[in-house]
Structure formats: C-alpha cells, structure tokens
Amino acid sequence: MRRLLLSTAVFALAATAAQAQDPHAGHKMPAPAADPHAGHAMPATPAAVDPHAGHSMPAPATDPHAGHVATGAQLPVGDAPAPAAATDHLADKVFDSARMEQARAVLREEHGGMTLSRTMIDRLELRPGAGRSVYAWEAEFRYGGDIDRLVIKTEGEGVRGDLADAEVQALYSRAIGPYFDLQAGVRQDFEPRPRRTYAVLGVEGLAPYWFDVEGALFLSDTGDLSARLEGSYDLRLSQRLILQPRGEFDIAAQDTRSLGIGSGLSKAEVGLRLRYEIERQFAPYVGVNFERRFGRTADLARAAGEDVSDTRVVVGLRAWF
C-alpha cells in the first residue's frame, strides 16, 4: 500500500515537470480554421479588355481629290479656252431680266472690262553744260482696256531752242501674257532731217526681278532696218526715295550716211537718276547721264566735227495723270 502511494506521487511529480516545460502539454489543440474559399474554384484572372475589340478599324485615308473632277483653281495652268459664261441667272426668276442684265454689265465693267487712260511723263529734264544746255523728254499716252490699248510715245532732245531729235510713235498694243505686251504701228521722225517714217514691231513689259524692258524693230520707208533696246529698274531706298538706273541702246543693220548712222551698235545712253515722290504722281529728280557713239557712227560724228561722247548732270521731273 505504501509502495502504491509512493509510485503515484512520483508519477504526479514527473507529469508536473513535463507540463512546466511545454505550455501546451495536456491541452487539446483546436482544429485549424476552415478555409472560407475551400470547395470554391477561383475564377480565372480576366484578360485585359481590348478597347477596339469588336470594332473594325477605318480604312486608310484616301486622296481627297480621288473621283473628283478638277475645277476652278484646281485646273492645271494651260491655254485651254475659258468655259462658257453662265446663262441661267437665278436672279432673273425674281427680278426683271432687263434690269438684271444692266446690273451685270456694270459689274463686268467695274471688274476689268472698263476703258482707262493714262499719261506718263517719264523724263522731262534739263542737262546743263559748258556753252550749251540740252533738254530732253520721254512720255507716253495709253488708252484702252486690259488686253487691247492704243499707245502713243514720244521722245527727243534739243540744244537751246533747236531740236536735235524728235519722234512720235502710234502703236496698237495687245497683252500676250500677264506681264508683256506686243506692239505694232508707225513711227514718225521730225528731226533729224531728212525725215523718216518707220513701221514698228516691238515688245514691252516687266521682266523677272521687276526690270522694265522694251525692245523694238524699225523698218524705214527707204528700207533701213534698225532696233532699239531699253531697260530700267526702280531701286526703292525708302517709300518715297527711288534710285533708277536706266539704259538705251540703238543698233543699225546698215550705214545711213544722210542721218549720220553707221551699221552695228550706233549709240548707247545710260543714266542714274534719284527721284523723290512728293506724291506718287509727282516726283522731281537729279542724276547723271552718259551718251556715247560707237563704230561707224562715231567715225561719221568725228568727220562732221561732233563729239563722240557726252556726260552731263541732269535735273528733271517725272509725273503721271
């Protein structure tokens, strides 16, 4: 009996020591918490949605002019005849046709169909010099429309009260492009003598870079053939101050001794003029002018006791109205 009690006490002490070492000894561990998603299949991760899915992409942009007939400003530049003018005027259905036709006639005139005139005095100048002063002029009158015009030109020079050269041209001028006119007509020389009458064929216009150019052929009533080339350029130093270089060259196909003209380049005249436009239509100027005769013409001048070259300061006026 005493042994049984002793064994029981030893066993109890051993169990107490083991429980002190393991805090969970003698306790029943609870069952693990159940997985709330247990038994459920996780949905697959959704794929990124394509914003264009189900939509067809538009076709590439096509040529905006494809399938269209070119009209107006789209037409290529050429010499094809203009289209026929419209005759189905809608305004005639509301207003009197005769009155509307009068209104259209006024509109056509005011937008390019009118007749205009202009008088241009390009040079009216005095060239003072030792012993004698020279005066000179160049002017023209124009009358007509945009395509067809009457042009009258005159130029010349004199010494004191005597004319040395004087001519008048009456020309029919027709536009052959936006910048050039073809001219034909007659020229009458009043000085020097013997007087000559010429048939004229020439061209005048505005060359690239704003050069004013003229060229003409002259066939006299005695069969003499000659030509003249002219050119000038307006260099704008300011809105009103303009520097103008200018040149004129005369060429003859044969000698004309009675007029003191030899074949080849007969005479050249170059000048530089500075004008101030007080008004666009009124501009005084100063400058210098140089003349020289060449070749056979210079030989004939020397034989007649005349100067071959001449350089002068000029004072003049340019005006138009």
Q: Give the per-residue pLDDT at 25.
A: 47
Rounded (5°) CA angle 70-75-78 = 145
Contact by Cβ (8 Å): 134, 157: yes
Which pLDDT score is estimated for 108?
Answer: 81
Q: Taking Cα atoms as reference points, which of 231, 177, 178, 225 lies closest to residue 201?
A: 225
Q: In the prediction, which pLDDT does 49 show?
A: 53
15, two tokens: 């169990």
Q: What pLDDT score does 60 carry?
A: 54
| pLDDT for res 23 | 47
What is the per-residue pLDDT for 240? 97
Residue 229 has a pLDDT of 98
pTM confidence score: 0.69
pLDDT value, residue 78: 78
* CA 282 to chain centroid: 27
Cα torsion 89, 95, 101, 104: sign = negative
**CA distances in angstroms from 172 to 120, 149, 179, 182, 197, listed in the order given:** 17, 6, 16, 8, 17
Alpha helices in 152-270 (DSSP H): none
Neighbour-count burial of 196, counting CB atoms closer than 10 A to its CB (0-12 exposed, 13-18 middle, 19+ buried): buried
SS3 for 192? Answer: coil
Which of 186, 185, 210 lies closest to 197, judged by CA?
186
CA distance 306 to 300: 9
pLDDT, mean of each 10-residue run, the chain (321 residues): 50 49 49 53 52 55 63 78 82 91 87 88 93 92 94 94 93 96 98 95 97 98 97 97 98 95 96 97 98 96 93 97 95
